[in-house]
Amino acid sequence: MRISHVMTTLAISFSIAGIAEAREQLSLAGSSTVLPFATIIAEEMGKNPSFKTPVVESGGSSVGKKGVCDGIGTEYIDIGNASSRMKTSELEYCDKNGVDLTEIKVGYDGIAVANSIDGQTLTISKADLGKALTAEIPQEDGSWIPNPFKKWSEINPSYPDIEIRVYGPPTTSGTRASFVEMVNEKAYCKKDTVAKKALKAINAKADKCIAMRTDGAYIEAGEQDNLIVQKLQEDTSAYGIFGFSYLDQNTDTLKSAVIDGGEATFEAIASGDYAISRALYFYVKHAHVGVVPGIAEYMEEWTKHWGEDGLLSDAGMVPMPDDEQAKYTKAIKELPKLTADML
Amino acid sequence: MAQTRTEKIVIDGLKARQTKERNFKFFGIFAVALAIAFLAILLISICSKGLPGFFQYYATFEVELTRERIDPRGDMSDQSLFEGEAKKIINEAVLEFTGAKKRNEKKAARSLLSNGSDLRLVNFVQKNTDKVNSRQKIKFALDDDADSFFRGYIKKQTPEKQRRLNDIEINYLEKMNEAGIITYEISDYLFFGSASRNAEMAGIKGAFIGSMLTLAVCFLIAFPLGVATAVYLEEFAPKNKFTELIEININNLAAVPSVVFGILGLAIFINLFGMPRSIPLIGGLVLALMTLPTIIISSRAAIKAVPPSIRDGALAIGASKMQATMHHVVPLAIPGMLTGTIIGMAQALGETAPLLMIGMVAFIVDIPGSITDPGTVLPVQIFMWADFAERMFVHKTSAAIIILLLFLMIMNGGAVWLRRKLERRW
């Protein structure tokens, strides 16, 4: 009786030790913006019976960038997805843990500003869009007041005479981070003369402007872009900020705003005419290539589908120009180490 | 007869007291009605969205199954069929039917059938090896955009630029419809497909099996441990400061947010023991930690409900403490214990938060074959589908919610049935 107990305990601990060693499939985690595209690639790769389908976890860009650098070994992920580029501070964390990476850009994702097809089209400049949404507005005398604009027409009479009400992602979102950086900060605070003077007066950087309004003009609608799409279909006087692929899927009910003369269309984002877009990346850990089966094949699968007619563009990802595609195809083969001076 | 002072007070206050009672009843009914109304709204909205999710559109094409083309290695292995020309064969059939000639016409024709049609053809061949080298009619799922067209979400009247299907594609779809090869049937992908980014191919099988494996691990660990703890604490443990402290802590654990157990699981099972991420074994362990307090508390309540006379009777005729407990108290308490366990399990079935940390909130295509293969669970599948942009996922999400709800109902119904069947009254 006793002996059989000991045997079972031993057997269980051995089997646990057994699973700790082997991992047959790739493990990825990171940005929820990259996830819909990474899963397409994973699924395509899994069609080949020689490989198991990679496991793709969500979690956000920071989880992808930090997770891949947590350490070397099969309990850590092999590839981290991110919709924002690695910062030097994040790379330092990798160096500390002895993790070498290669950065692969896979394409672009537009950030759409859109509303119901029954509502008024918003034709606006990027700077004014930032002005409408940033929490505090600088004054001529150098002071800052809470954003006073109630209606779009108060900023410029040519804008719609309706209340400013914009649904968008919460602070945890990469979409939000990119939007406030490109619109609030770069297009408005760094360009506007009054804002520049006011920033200098209080010795602040332009990232003071990245705070969004909290007085009801900007409504955080949760991480799920589908929720924003549903809200806009019901509320025809509101606008929404979300990933381009969701606009692409709902062109029968939603329409893009015209920002600096450009609409969020596939062609405009690809050519750079529509300027609110960001690059999508993944970071691959050198130490795992060749150890976990299928990493090279997974990366190669991207190159098959990231072009103009590929599966990814069907799903709403905007392809890179040809020279960038060639550059990153080469990087996939040669795996250059990511160093601080490359960032 | 003159009223006494007491009678006067009673009669004067009567109206006010009756009004109070009426108001109280009214509030009670109002609260119940509100709850029922919310439930009705929830069910109606889920069913109206979810029922179409159980169906999808298929197109039947006749394809030529040439052995050499489908199975180039000639051994009918998975690898050989994968290397074969299944996709080309299907495309040829579609091109022949539509008569597409120009490049953009061919592209349009090719885009109408599901991206996973080649897998369907390969499956057909594997199941019907005798039908190779003949012409066979095979039903393929339509692509999700084409499906949306037949559901009426993509309308021909909308300008071509604003819809996801161009004029050529719509022409071909109408042509297929006129030829009578389009059918609207119960979706086999929903039940037998696994996670997929192609909305038309997505199904719950992988997540369902993952859920079952996870729950099995959870039950095998939590039930014996929970019952043993409850029996010991209730029947054997001395009543002192130490057991009191344990008792308080068990009650506290029941109130700990479930995500905390996920963090614990990450720290112990993955980082300390070095187990792989995303496997149902760890999911089950974490959920077992989460359901343990529920099981212990309900088991203790069940043991407490057994009348002391049962114990006394057993002890009086010379049974040991152990015999009295095992032969008399525990069998009588089992219905209550099982009810608590099933409710705890039903809770665990619906959890996603603790699984986030251990990597089970993930896109996993391969169906787990054991508790150490990567797997996900039903609520995670629902959560992920709800976030995908493709229109067809809305229906699939609601369909999956209906299936999950059915499961919870069956589990809770089972708990009620067990209690009725095994319950004894004294």
ipTM of the predicted structure?
Answer: 0.81
Q: Average of pLDDT values for A101-114?
A: 93
Q: What percent of chain B has pLDDT over 70?
A: 99
pTM over 0.90: no
Structure confidence by residue, pLDDT tens digits, B99-151: 888 888 988 999 999 988 998 999 999 898 888 888 999 999 999 999 999 99
Query: What span, in angstroms and rounded, lies between the C-alpha atoms of A341 and A305?
Result: 30
Q: Are B359 and A29 in contact (CB < 8 Å)?
A: yes
User: B378-417 as b/e, with b when 16 or more CB fall inside 10 Å?
Assistant: bbbbbbbbbbbbbbbbbbbbbbbbbbbbebeeebeeebee
Q: Does residue A100 lie within any of the structural domains?
A: yes
Q: Is residue B213 within 8 Å of residue B371, measured between CB atoms? A: yes
Q: Is residue A116 within 8 Å of residue A253, measured between CB atoms? A: yes
Neighbours of B216 (CB within 10 A): 13
Query: What span, in angstroms and rounded, lies between the C-alpha atoms of B114 and B104?
Result: 18
Structure confidence by residue, pLDDT tens digits, B304-319: 999 999 999 999 999 9
> Residue holding tokens 């389009």?
B182
Of the residues A277, A295, A325, which one is the last residue of a structural domain? Answer: A277
Query: What span, in angstroms and rounded, lies between the C-alpha atoms of A110 and B97?
Result: 37
Q: Average of pLDDT values for A172-195?
A: 86
What pLDDT does residue A271 have?
A: 82
pLDDT at position B398 over 60 = yes
| A294: region left, alpha or beta (phi > 0 left; psi from -120 to 50 alpha) | left
| B353: region left, alpha or beta (phi > 0 left; psi from -120 to 50 alpha) | alpha
Residue B354, min C-alpha distance to chain A (Å): 14
Token pair recorded at residue B415:
């708990």
Neighbours of B221 (CB within 10 A): 17
Residue A7, min C-alpha distance to chain B (Å): 19
Q: Does residue A83 lie within any of the structural domains?
A: yes
**Do A217 and A121 share a structural domain?**
yes
Q: Is residue B408 within 8 Å of residue B346, measured between CB atoms? A: yes
Q: Average of pLDDT values for B212-231?
A: 95
* Mean confidence (pLDDT) of chain B: 91
Q: Are B391 and A250 in contact (CB < 8 Å)?
A: yes
Burial class of residue A216 (count of CB atoms within 10 Å of its CB; 0-12, 13-18, 19+) = exposed
Helix, strand, coil share (%) of chain B residues, nearest 5: 70, 5, 25
Query: Helix or strand or coil: residue A240?
Result: strand
pLDDT at position A14 over 60 = no
By the CB < 8 Å criterion, does A256 face chain B?
no
Q: Is residue A333 within 8 Å of residue A299, measured between CB atoms? A: no
What pLDDT does residue A5 have?
A: 60
Q: Chain B partners of A39 at a C-beta cutoff of 8 Å?
A: 197, 363
Q: Is residue B90 within 8 Å of residue B118, measured between CB atoms? A: yes
Q: Average of pLDDT values for A280-308?
A: 92
Token pair recorded at residue A72:
């070397």
What pLDDT does residue B23 have?
A: 95
* E strand residue ranges, B202-357: none
Query: What span, in angstroms and rounded, lies between the C-alpha atoms of A329 and A319?
Result: 13
CATH class of B205-422: mainly alpha
**Do A179 and A133 share a structural domain?**
yes
Distances from the Cα of B270 to the Cα of A105, A285, A329, B266, angstroms: 30, 19, 34, 5
Q: Chain B partners of A77 at a C-beta cutoff of 8 Å?
A: 277
For chain B, what are the domain ranges?
52-186, 205-422
Look up residue A24 and give its DSSP letter.
-
Structure confidence by residue, pLDDT tens digits, A46-83: 988 889 999 999 888 888 999 999 988 888 899 999 98
Burial class of residue B289 (count of CB atoms within 10 Å of its CB; 0-12, 13-18, 19+) = buried
Strand B182-186 with B55-64, pairing: antiparallel
One-letter amino acid of B132: V
pLDDT at position A204 over 90 = no
Chain B stretch 103-142, residues whose beta carbon is closer than 8 A to a beta carbon of chain A: 107, 115, 119
Structure confidence by residue, pLDDT tens digits, B375-387: 999 999 999 998 8
Residues 6+ away with beta carbon under 8 Å from B237: B243
Query: What span, in angstroms and rounded, lies between the C-alpha atoms of B344 and B415?
Result: 11
Min mean pLDDT across A16-30, A49-63, A89-103, A228-242 is at: A16-30
Structure confidence by residue, pLDDT tens digits, B262-287: 999 999 998 888 888 889 999 999 99
- For residue B280, which of B193, B344, B366, B339 has the smallest C-alpha distance? B366
pLDDT at position B67 over 90 = no
**Do A308 and A180 share a structural domain?**
no
Q: Is residue A11 within 8 Å of residue A80, measured between CB atoms? A: no
Q: Is residue B343 within 8 Å of residue B298, measured between CB atoms? A: yes
pLDDT at position A20 over 60 = no
Residue A91, min C-alpha distance to chain B (Å): 22
Higher pLDDT, residue A17 or B189: B189
**Do A71 and A53 share a structural domain?**
yes
Q: Is residue A319 within 8 Å of residue A107, measured between CB atoms? A: yes
User: Which residue of chain A comes nearest to B376, CA vs CA?
Assistant: A55
Distances from the Cα of A292 to the Cα of A16, A169, A284, B276, B382, angstroms: 19, 35, 12, 13, 29
Return the C-alpha torsion angle B17, B22, B27, B32, nearest 10.
Answer: 140
Residue A164, min C-alpha distance to chain B (Å): 26
**Do A241 and A153 share a structural domain?**
yes
Q: Are B163 and A252 in contact (CB < 8 Å)?
A: yes
What pLDDT does residue B426 have?
A: 65
pLDDT at position A17 over 70 = no
* Nearest residue, CB atoms, A56 vs list B198, B362, B366: B362
Q: Chain B partners of A20 at a C-beta cutoff of 8 Å?
A: 273-276
Residues 6+ away with beta carbon under 8 Å from A173: A60, A223
Token pair recorded at residue A242:
């979300």
Burial class of residue A7 (count of CB atoms within 10 Å of its CB; 0-12, 13-18, 19+) = exposed
Query: What span, in angstroms and rounded, lies between the C-alpha atoms of A31 and A173?
Result: 9
**Do A165 and A237 share a structural domain?**
yes
Of the residues A221, A255, A277, which one is the last residue of a structural domain? Answer: A277
- For residue A31, which of A229, A230, A172 has the smallest C-alpha distance? A172
Query: What span, in angstroms and rounded, lies between the C-alpha atoms of B149 and B165?
Result: 8
**Do A283 and A206 share a structural domain?**
no
Task: Provide the angle, in degrees to the nearest 10, between the axes of the packed helices B280-304 and B330-349.
Answer: 140
**Do A193 and A129 share a structural domain?**
yes
Query: Helix or strand or coil: residue B237?
Result: coil
Query: What span, in angstroms and rounded, lies between the C-alpha atoms of A253 and A268?
Result: 20
**Confidence band, pLDDT 50/70/90 cuts, at residue A119:** very high
**Do A77 and A223 share a structural domain?**
no
Half-sphere exposure at residue A271, Cβ-oriented, CA atoms within 13 angstroms: 8
Q: Are B388 and A36 in contact (CB < 8 Å)?
A: yes
Give the phi and the psi of residue B59 in degrees, each rounded to 5.
Answer: -125, 135
Distances from the Cα of A317 to the Cα of A122, A248, A270, B68, B215, angstroms: 24, 10, 10, 37, 38
Structure confidence by residue, pLDDT tens digits, A163-173: 999 999 888 77
Min mean pLDDT across A21-30, B92-101, B299-308, B340-349 is at: A21-30
Domain that holds residue A180: 110-277
* Nearest residue, CB atoms, B366 vs list A46, A246, A248: A46
Q: Does residue A10 lie within any of the structural domains?
A: no
What pLDDT does residue B10 have?
A: 87
**Do A122 and A267 share a structural domain?**
yes
Number of domains present in the structure of chain A: 2
Query: Helix or strand or coil: residue A277?
Result: strand
Give the phi and the psi of residue B279 in degrees, each rounded to 5.
Answer: -105, 145
Give the phi and the psi of residue A262 in degrees, each rounded to 5.
Answer: -115, 145
**Which helix or strand (DSSP H or E) is residue A137 part of?**
strand A136-138
pLDDT at position B154 over 60 = yes
CATH code for the domain of A310: 3.40.190.10
| A114: region left, alpha or beta (phi > 0 left; psi from -120 to 50 alpha) | beta
Structure confidence by residue, pLDDT tens digits, A214-269: 999 999 987 778 889 988 988 999 999 998 988 988 888 899 999 988 889 888 88
Of the residues A262, A277, A292, which one is the last residue of a structural domain? Answer: A277
Best to test chain B binding among A226, A233, A266 (most B CBs inside 10 Å): A226
Q: Chain A partners of B390 at a C-beta cutoff of 8 Å?
A: 249
User: B160-175 as b/e, with b when 16 or more CB fall inside 10 Å?
Assistant: eeebbbeebbbebbee
Chain B stretch 148-187, residues whose beta carbon is closer than 8 A to a beta carbon of chain A: 153-155, 158, 161-164
Q: Chain A partners of B275 at a C-beta cutoff of 8 Å?
A: 16, 19-20, 75
Structure confidence by residue, pLDDT tens digits, B17-55: 999 999 999 999 999 999 999 999 998 988 888 899 999
What pLDDT does residue A1 have?
A: 43
* Mean confidence (pLDDT) of chain A: 87
Q: Does residue A4 lie within any of the structural domains?
A: no
Higher pLDDT, residue A73 or B176: B176
Query: What span, in angstroms and rounded, lies between the C-alpha atoms of A110 and A316?
Result: 9
Q: Average of pLDDT values for A325-335?
A: 94
**Do A338 and A262 share a structural domain?**
no
Give the phi and the psi of residue A134 in degrees, each rounded to 5.
Answer: -75, 150
Q: Chain A partners of B395 at a C-beta cutoff of 8 Å?
A: none
Chain A stretch 31-90, residues whose beta carbon is closer than 8 A to a beta carbon of chain B: 32, 35-36, 38-40, 42-43, 46-50, 52-53, 55-59, 73-75, 77
Look up residue B329 and give its DSSP letter.
I
**Do A124 and A97 share a structural domain?**
no
Q: Average of pLDDT values for B284-298?
A: 94
* Nearest residue, CB atoms, B154 vs list A20, A225, A252: A252
**Confidence band, pLDDT 50/70/90 cuts, at residue A22:** low
Q: Does residue A226 lie within any of the structural domains?
A: yes
**Confidence band, pLDDT 50/70/90 cuts, at residue A19:** very low
What pLDDT does residue B49 have?
A: 85
Q: Chain B partners of A309 at a C-beta cutoff of 8 Å?
A: 107
Query: What span, in angstroms and rounded, lies between the C-alpha atoms of B311 and B328?
Result: 7
